[in-house]
């Protein structure tokens, strides 16, 4: 590849190659006025509208759904904009969206349940988890299951090969996936020469979750799709979440993906193609879901599901394994400490979609935000959780007077 092409690709890729990751910009409140208003009125819908409607009015996003779990256990859903500019409808809690890297949370939860069941151990390494016939570098052999789920294995987001860079340039103009060549043979060959550069420190890795899914398939003899359904989706009755969107209820009325901040050379609001993932990458980013299912999933981390093993598995995913000031690493979740509250969250960015899920264990609240545009900025998720927490604090202080 000529040097100028490589330089151009690397410059662009440093700002956009999240594919489906956690690089969104969380903009928080500068004061407590909104929280005071929420404490006084209790009108969560008004707070959601104040945050969401400007994004529609400015054409920043085509459609938007916000799901809110309040501390009293009530779930509410608010839809804005449209699923598609021509012949679409206002999305609601049942509307399907691609959720990108929120898929990793379900794979991590499945892994955690398997650990609770004794099928796997967190400190098992790829040297024993993969067949002896799979050639691994010395660094790859030492990667543990815990490191895969917490993004601390030292694996990159994806290998930076010439093919990846060329596909990325194509993506900027067409929106086509630049992950389509990441099949099993490709990733296993990468592991044979892998050298650790950031081991032990969180470094977001899409391919790490691809390897994780492959490990689970080998240890259980079941495909990721069937395994996640068996261990998480079916027990929680999340019947509108799955890896094959065409088979899900409401597929014909789904939210269609649109360009936003990316792809760079497609006008904002234009339709972009859905991404298809290889078998080994499906557990990393291929799920479709809706706000209703995702909020039920969030709630399952806070309230009993009726299954002790599932409860323990879900709680374990929220435990911070690597502390740092911003985005401390848990299992698929990242945790921010803001104004005395630890907010666990995940971000999904894929094709023409942006997804957010956040949980505040202290206040037992959760927020889901789904957009059908690819946008770096998340103005709603953390903000809304903090407003609810601050409002609860205001009310508590008022009652103590």
DSSP 249-317: TTGGGPPPPB-SS-STTS-TT-B-PPP---HHHHHHH--EE-HHHHHHHHHHTTS--S-HHHHHHHHHH
Q: DSSP secondary-structure letter at 50?
A: H
Q: Map tokens 């630049």 to a residue.
A: 178
pLDDT at residue 394, as a whole number: 73
The string of pLDDT tens digits covering residues 185-226 is: 999 999 999 998 766 788 999 999 999 999 999 999 999 999
pLDDT at residue 22, as a whole number: 46
pLDDT at residue 168, as a whole number: 94
pLDDT at residue 41, as a whole number: 81
Say whether pLDDT at 401 is over 80: no
CA distance 243 to 231: 15
Say whether pLDDT at 4 is over 70: no
Stretch 365-380: mean pLDDT, rounded? 94
Mean pLDDT over the full length of the chain = 90
- Domain at 21-400: CATH code: 3.40.710.10
Confidence bin at 28 (pLDDT 50/70/90): low
Stretch 320-342: mean pLDDT, rounded? 90
CA distance 353 to 197: 31
Q: DSSP secondary-structure letter at 135?
A: -
Whole-number percent of the chain with pLDDT over 90: 79
pLDDT at residue 398, as a whole number: 54
The string of pLDDT tens digits covering residues 133-170 is: 999 999 999 999 999 999 999 999 988 889 999 999 99
Confidence bin at 14 (pLDDT 50/70/90): very low
Say whether pLDDT at 341 is over 50: yes
Q: Is 53 helix (H, G, I), strand (E, B) or coil?
A: helix
pLDDT at residue 39, as a whole number: 77
CA distance 339 to 401: 22
Query: What is the model's pTM?
Result: 0.92
Say whether pLDDT at 270 is over 50: yes
Confidence bin at 99 (pLDDT 50/70/90): very high
Q: Which range, of 3-17, 80-94, 125-139, averages the lowest pLDDT? A: 3-17
Say whether pLDDT at 309 is over 50: yes
| Residues near 311 by beta carbon (within 8 Å), at least 6 away in sequence | 304, 305
CA distance 347 to 376: 10
The string of pLDDT tens digits covering residues 294-307 is: 999 999 999 999 99
CA distance 170 to 264: 11
| Residues near 348 by beta carbon (within 8 Å), at least 6 away in sequence | 20, 98, 99, 100, 101, 102, 103, 285, 354, 355, 356
CB 165 within 8 A of CB 6: yes
Residue ranges per structural domain of the chain: 21-400
CB 254 within 8 A of CB 95: yes
**Where is pLDDT greater, at 3 or 84?**
84
CA distance 46 to 378: 18
Confidence bin at 29 (pLDDT 50/70/90): low
């Amino acid at each position: 590849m000529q040097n100028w092409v490589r330089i151009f690709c690397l410059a662009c890729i440093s700002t956009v190659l999240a594919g489906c990751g956690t690089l969104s910009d969380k903009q928080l409140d500068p004061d407590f006025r909104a929280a005071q208003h929420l404490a006084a009125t209790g009108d969560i819908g008004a707070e959601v509208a104040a945050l969401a409607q400007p994004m529609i009015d400015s054409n920043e996003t085509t459609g938007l759904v916000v799901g809110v779990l309040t501390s009293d256990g009530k779930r509410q859903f608010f839809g804005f904009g449209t699923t598609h500019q021509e012949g679409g409808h206002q999305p609601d809690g049942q509307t399907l969206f691609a959720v990108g890297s929120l898929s990793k949370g379900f794979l991590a939860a499945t892994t955690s349940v398997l650990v609770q069941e004794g099928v796997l151990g967190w400190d098992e390494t790829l040297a024993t988890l993969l067949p002896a016939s799979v050639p691994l570098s010395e660094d790859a052999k030492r990667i543990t299951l815990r490191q895969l789920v917490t993004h601390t294995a030292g694996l990159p987001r994806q290998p930076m090969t010439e093919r990846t860079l060329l596909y990325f340039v194509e993506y900027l103009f067409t929106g086509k996936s630049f992950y389509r060549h990441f099949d099993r043979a490709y990733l296993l060959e990468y592991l044979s020469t892998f050298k650790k550069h950031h081991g032990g420190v969180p470094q977001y890795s899409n391919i790490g979750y691809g390897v994780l899914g492959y490990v689970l398939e080998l240890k259980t003899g079941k495909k990721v799709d069937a395994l996640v359904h068996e261990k998480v989706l079916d027990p929680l009755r999340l019947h509108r979440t799955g890896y094959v969107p065409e088979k899900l209820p409401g597929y014909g009325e789904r939210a269609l993906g649109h360009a936003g901040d990316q792809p760079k050379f497609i006008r904002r609001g234009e339709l972009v193609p859905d991404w298809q993932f290889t078998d080994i990458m499906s557990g990393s980013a291929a799920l479709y879901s809706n706000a209703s299912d995702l909020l039920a999933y969030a709630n399952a981390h806070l309230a009993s599901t009726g299954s002790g093993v599932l409860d323990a598995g879900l709680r374990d995913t929220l435990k911070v394994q690597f502390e740092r000031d911003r985005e401390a690493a848990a299992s698929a979740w990242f945790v921010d400490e803001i104004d005395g509250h630890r907010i666990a969250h995940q971000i999904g960015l894929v094709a023409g979609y942006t997804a957010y899920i956040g949980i505040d264990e202290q206040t037992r609240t959760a927020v889901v935000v789904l957009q059908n545009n690819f946008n770096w900025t998340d103005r709603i998720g953390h903000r809304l959780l903090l407003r609810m927490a601050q409002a609860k604090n205001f009310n508590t202080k008022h009652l103590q007077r």
